[in-house]
Amino acid sequence: MTTDVYILVNTYRKVGKQQRCYTVAKTKVIPQNTDPVFNQAIRLACVGHAGHVVLNVMSKHTIGGDTLMGQAVIILEQHPELYEGEAHHLRLPLDSLKHVVHDSTGTEMNLSPPTEVSGALNISINIPSIYQNMCGWFWNIKEEFLRGTSGEKLWVVLHTGTLFVYSNPYDHDLKMQIDVDTIQGIKETSYDKLEIKVEGIKVWVKPNEKSKGIKKEKELMWAWGDDSSKTKGLWRRALIQHDCPTNIAYNDPDFKLGSPKAESAKNEPVTTTISAKKR
């Protein structure tokens, strides 16, 4: 009997004694196949070494809910080699329902254990360095002529030089895609036109052909969604080269987007100073 198959992947982080769903992703559906080859890369986020990655082999149905065919669980603290920054290949035997499963809204699914389980998953997994790969919550502050000021919560993922901006960590509804190279500057700021004063960053972006959700040069006002000084510092480090001319100009109190000063800063070369001592 053949079936339409996809993989639903959940990551879980440890909060106290509980494992809470952190992010969700899923592969494409391969129709009428009991030995599918996906050849597909998916991005998920996890925090720390105490989390789990749960891979659920699902059968897609047009009538009725999807069903579980088998499950494989990676307990990250048992695999320290995954944090070496290189891809590792794992063969994971499929088991019955051992761990809860969440769908693309982050809601726990009511699944029955499969009557019979066989087979294995062959995957390649890579957990890169946190200094170029991060994720977290921000509030996108928008001022609109008729609607006034509003805040929209965003889930932001930095992966190998690109920012992927989603509405949440589950459904992969992509709102913006920004190459870090197109960020001209960032600066600390506060915003007091909402019910409460919020702290955050302004991001000066000049989009390129790979950008999505941004059609012209603009400033983004992102309020911090994660209230941690360590997290904030990591974001600043990852997003901008602080000594680049555009960032220096952007942090001038008199800076205005589109001004001659802003345009001239774009054309200045980035310089690096190397100091050496004689032996």
pLDDT in tens, 220-247: 999 998 767 777 888 877 776 556 777 7
pLDDT in tens, 125-173: 988 877 778 888 999 988 776 677 778 899 999 888 899 999 999 988 8
Which of the residues in the chain have pLDDT under 70? 1, 145-146, 194, 227, 240-243, 261, 265-279
How many CB atoms neighbour CB 27 within 10 A? 19
Distance of CA 70 to the CA centre of its chain: 27
At 236, list the tokens: 């600043």
Domains of the chain: 4-125 (2.60.40.150), 134-266 (2.30.29.30)
Best CA proximity match to 184, nearest among 264, 111, 116, 110: 264
